[in-house]
Amino acid sequence: MAEKVLMKGNEAIAEAAIKAGCRHYFGYPITPQTEIAAYMAKRMPKIGGTFLQAESEVAAINMVYGVAGAGFRVMTSSSSPGVSLKQEGISYIAGADLPALIVNVQRGGPGLGGIQPSQSDYFQATKGGGHGDYHLIVLAPASVQEMADLTGKAFDLADKYRCPTMLLADGTLGQMMEPVEIPDVEVTPVEKPWAVNGTKGKRAHNIVNSLYLKPDQLEKTNFERFEKYKQIEENEVMYESFMMEDAEYCVVAFGIAARISKNAVVAARKNGIKVGLIRPITLWPFPTEVIAKAAEQVKGFVSVELSMGQMIEDVRLASGCKKPVLLCNRAGGMIMSPEEVLAKIDELAAL
Amino acid sequence: MIVFEKPKALTDAPLHYCPGCTHGIIHRLVAEAIDELGIEGITVGVAPVGCSVMAYDYFACDMVEAAHGRAPAVATGLKRCMPENIIFTYQGDGDLASIGMAETVHAATRNENITIIFVNNAIYGMTGGQMAPTSLPGQVTQTSPYGRDVTVAGYPIRVSEMLSTLEGPEYIERVAVNNVKNVRNAKKAILKAFKNQVEGKGFSLIEVVSTCPTNWGMTPSQALEWVDTNMIPYYPLGVYKDKTAAAAEAAKEE
């Protein structure tokens, strides 16, 4: 058993990544995720790893592309405006079917926005982000402990499916301190016969590439990749269900918004409103079937988000628009109180 | 007795380059260097976006295709996780000196232990002949149809001169491949650029003044001549930085 320590969410990600066998980190300073880079700068040289402060987010993600191509566990981290810059490289990593971890500790936008917490990169994270047809596996932690646990999980999923994985956190989770146990994980080396690490004269050359000038070949790679995505949708959906057994109303929220919502759900129950919470942990694949099933059970949904309403579209789609879906949101770095969520639950119950 | 054969570090894939293009010569020189140093099995090359985008089909070593301009960053990642391997990039002028200038400068200033082959033909070939960061003043291209106007488009960048002002890089030389003598010099420079990496000396960049008969609107032989009459006067050949040689020189003087 590892011991429990008090850590910032950002530091928990960094230490968990090291425990998961990641020895290569490339980043660029941006608030509110810089502690990840600072932690890596301190630790990596002591354990024979790489910490490199790149000249830009664009360069950092392309360094990640190189290391991922060579078959090593590798990561970068940033916050919203920086993650926009990384989209080119993320698309190439997805197109070349390489495993890598990208951490986005979100802040308010658009543009330079602010430095306070936000969830307004949901569309960017779950719907592609860069050019072309692709998905990232997107994991949304809601505590410092989950920042650590899902980091290890993200590396495993990336290797298992040969695809880039994103940890989508926010400024609150990145900055807040909680007791956390960084799990000692057994890292099983994954065979990567496709890696570019030198032929040693023993095999034909490997090529890491996303270019297919013949359209039939490019189409084929797209269809094959989406077969893989189908498997991920079938096997890797993660969510938390809270007080849903007898629920007549359902709150859907992820990350820090889910923690606020939990308080509101408990308060509403005290007031006699039977409400529960579904917290998607994987944002892609989205727990579509879980929401669809809930739509048979409940009278309506509230989507609680730190954005102008992005996940709400997936909630509506998953529920087949059979039940009303209300939005409880704050934006720009503002955070809703449990009372604001409670008021929205009351509004739904009064419909 | 075999007097001439294809380097082993080249595959049998037929090159797609236009007739008279000097990419073929430069590919061969790179492959010869890899053969002579016996490093094919540990070499990973990085291809750019541009005419040599499909270089990954031509070199027999492991290859990565990079996004436009990002090859030095990709090479940095490869070298940092595999310091014992030999990593090279092969880039054109648009890739290296325009969209990828930041990656180029910073790989150089870090003295990243990689080898860069920089093919400067003063034009974007693959996309059909647009103005490049190295297009000469007055040069007519698809996007400078009245000739490069320096008051609008600025001046061509002399990459070797600029990078040699940095403390970091080990070795920077500009060569050409428009005649036998120049090809021989280019061969020596490229071999040295790879040898430097094997010896752990650091960042070596060879700028190869090249041609684009198709988009220059010339015959291959006219293009080779234009290198002498127009390119080399603006881009003088020679060694711009050689830290090891400079240190040896300094030691001699003491």
Over residues A48-58, the mean pLDDT reads: 98
Query: Is B167 inside a domain boundary?
Result: yes
User: CB–CB of B67 and A198 under 8 A?
Assistant: no
B78, pLDDT greater than 80 = yes
How many domains does one find in chain B?
A: 1
A51 in reach of chain B (CB within 8 A): no
In whole angstroms, give the CA distance from residue A167 to residue A162: 16
Q: Where are the domains of chain A?
A: 4-235, 239-349
B11, pLDDT greater than 70 = yes
3-state secondary structure of B160: helix
Query: Is B10 inside a domain boundary?
Result: no
B241 in Cβ contact with B169 (< 8 Å): yes
Minimum Cα–Cα distance from A92: chain B residue = B67
Confidence of residue A183 (pLDDT cuts 50, 70, 90): confident
Average pLDDT, chain B: 97
In whole angstroms, give the CA distance from residue A66 to residue B122: 28
Query: Is B62 inside a domain boundary?
Result: yes
Query: Is B225 inside a domain boundary?
Result: yes
B175, pLDDT greater than 70 = yes
Judge whether A4-235 and A239-349 match in fold: yes
What CATH number is attached to the domain comprising B147?
Answer: 3.40.50.970
Q: Which residue in the set A59, A199, A211 is minimally distant from B62, CB to CB?
A: A199
In chain A, the N- to C-terminal Cα span, in Å, equals 50
pLDDT tens digits for A60-86? Answer: 999 999 999 999 999 999 999 999 999
A112 in reach of chain B (CB within 8 A): no
The reported pTM is 0.97
User: For A162, which DSSP code?
Assistant: T
pLDDT tens digits for A134-144? Answer: 999 999 999 99
A237, pLDDT greater than 80 = yes
What per-residue confidence (pLDDT) applies to B3?
A: 87
Higher pLDDT residue, A184 or A344? A344
In whole angstroms, give the CA distance from residue B71 to residue A26: 15
Residue type, A97: D
Q: What ipTM is given for this predicted complex? A: 0.97
Domain containing B135: what range?
Answer: 23-253
Give Cα separations from B146 to A99, B98, B101, B140, B216 (angstroms). Answer: 48, 21, 26, 6, 14
CATH of A4-235, one of 3.10.450.230, 3.40.50.970, 3.10.250.10, 3.30.470.20: 3.40.50.970
Minimum Cα–Cα distance from B82: chain A residue = A197
Question: What is the rounded (10 degree) CA torsion for B133, B136, B139, B143?
Answer: 10
Nearest to A7 by CA among A115, A148, A139, A104: A148
Q: Which residue in the set A62, A96, A197 is minimally distant from B62, CB to CB?
A: A197
Confidence of residue A336 (pLDDT cuts 50, 70, 90): very high
Tokens of A99: 């495993």
Nearest-CA distance A193 → chain B (Å): 12
Q: Which residue in the set A66, A200, A206 is minimally distant from B41, CB to CB?
A: A200
What is the percent of chain A where pLDDT is above 70? 100
B90 in Cβ contact with B48 (< 8 Å): yes
Query: Is B50 inside a domain boundary?
Result: yes
Tokens of B86: 């030999």
What per-residue confidence (pLDDT) applies to B254?
A: 80
A50 in reach of chain B (CB within 8 A): yes
> How do beta strands A275-280 and A239-242 pair?
antiparallel
**Sheet of B115-120: strands edge to edge?**
A207-208, B62-65, B43-47, B86-92, B115-120, B204-209, B171-176, B238-242
Q: Using CB atoms within 10 Å of the CB of residue A215, give its burial: 0 to 12 exposed, 13 to 18 middle, 19+ buried.
A: exposed
CATH of A239-349, one of 3.40.50.920, 1.10.620.20, 3.40.50.300, 1.10.760.10: 3.40.50.920
Query: Is B15 inside a domain boundary?
Result: no
In whole angstroms, give the CA distance from residue B92 to residue B153: 19
Confidence of residue A50 (pLDDT cuts 50, 70, 90): very high
